[in-house]
Amino acid sequence: MYNSLDELFGSGSFYPVAAPHLYRTEAIVLRRADFGEADKILTLYTPHLGKLRVIAKGVRRPTSRLGGHVELFTHSAMLVAKGRNLDIVTQSETIHSFIGLREDLVRTAFSCHVAELTERLVEEGIESYPLFELLLRTFERISSGDDPEIATHFFEVQLLGHLGYRPELRHCCHCQVVVGPTGNFFSPVAGGVLCTDCGRADAMGKGLTTNAFKMLRLMQSGTYATAARVRLDESLRREIDSLLKGYVEYVLERKLKSAALLEALRRTASKANEGNKP
């Protein structure tokens, strides 16, 4: 394993190396799609080039050296050649494989959600090193942390803030009054929290419990370490999940495939728990 690009390729910039048509970059693989007989098109998120679509030629062949280094969710160091339509991955070495994401179906599902949300919300070619760091830390938390669901929701709230979709949680979106912790509503259409009077008058407003309100504000303005220490009961988890799902889908104007997978896993787990009760 390599701990950095410099360790793999030597010191220098991520910009052209060895030849003007080559560049090197770290990348997290968000999506893979078969192309032709042996190739795959990869959607990557990089620290200095933003989201990229590239092609890994011959990667589906058993003899390919790229194979395991461009797996979904893998953090790799890549050497990429400029192409006419898509740039071409010529070398790749794994930095972090996040093996825990593949050993547990629930962690895999949360990782799929993070990857899909990033791919859908982020435009190509817009650099954001903080977003790359957030994505990297999130996969680490989902892979080895105690609560992959909290890691995922923390990522959702932070990602929305990075991209300019930060939900308003301090003032009523309609009348601008400073809201207290109780009696509030949440409206995806309005863009955040509503006070009691405005919430009752808003057809899209949904009641917001005090604990859900506090947790959303903690995930928006606090640290992950603090959020991860909070113990949430099942009803509060479902409320937060429903609120964020509704807001994300409103922003995207579409449903996420990964959200359906997570819901199916929850139903399966719920039935199993019911079956185990005496």
* pLDDT at position 123: 93
Q: Is the pLDDT of residue 7 over 60?
A: no
**DSSP assignment of 167-216:** PB-SB-TTT-PBP-SSSEEEETTTTEEE-HHHHHH-TT-EEE-HHHHHHH
Q: Is the pLDDT of residue 219 over 80?
A: yes
Q: 3-state class of 44 per DSSP?
A: strand
- The CATH classification number of 5-97 equals 2.40.50.140
What lies within 8 Å, CB to CB, of 214 at 6+ separation is: 181
| pLDDT tens-place string over residues 21-60 | 899 999 999 999 999 899 999 999 999 999 999 999 999 9
* Fold of the 104-276 domain: de novo design (two linked rop proteins) (1.20.1440)
**What does the block give as tokens for 256?**
């996420």
Edge to edge, what strands does the sheet with 184-187 contain? 192-194, 184-187, 206-208
Q: Is the pLDDT of residue 12 over 60?
A: no
Distance CA 218, CA 199 (A): 22
Q: Which residues pair with 216 in a beta bridge?
A: none
Distance CA 34, CA 59 (A): 10
| pLDDT tens-place string over residues 71-130 | 999 999 999 999 888 999 999 999 999 998 888 899 999 999 999 999 999 999 888 999
- Average pLDDT of the residues in 219-244: 94
* pLDDT at position 270: 58
Fold match between 5-97 and 104-276?
A: no
Q: 3-state class of 172 per DSSP?
A: coil
**Dihedral class, residue 18 (left if φ above 0, else alpha if ψ from -120 to 50, else beta):** left
Q: Are 88 and 113 in contact (CB under 8 A)?
A: no
* pLDDT at position 15: 44
Q: Is the pLDDT of residue 244 over 70?
A: yes
Residue 152 buriedness (CB in 10 A; 0-12 / 13-18 / 19+): buried
* pLDDT at position 13: 39
Q: Are 93 and 24 in contact (CB under 8 A)?
A: no
Distance CA 76, CA 4 (A): 9
Predicted TM-score of the model (pTM): 0.88
Domain ranges for the chain = 5-97, 104-276
* Helix pair angle (234-252, 148-162), 10° resolution: 30
| pLDDT tens-place string over residues 263-276 | 888 777 655 545 55
Pairing of strands 50-56, 39-46: antiparallel
Residue type (1 letter), 38: A
pLDDT band at 153 (very low <50, low <70, confident <90, very high): very high
What's the chain's average pLDDT?
89
- Average pLDDT of the residues in 154-165: 96
**DSSP assignment of 86-145:** SEEEEEEEEEE--THHHH-HHHHHHHHHHHHHHHHHSPBT---HHHHHHHHHHHHHHHHS
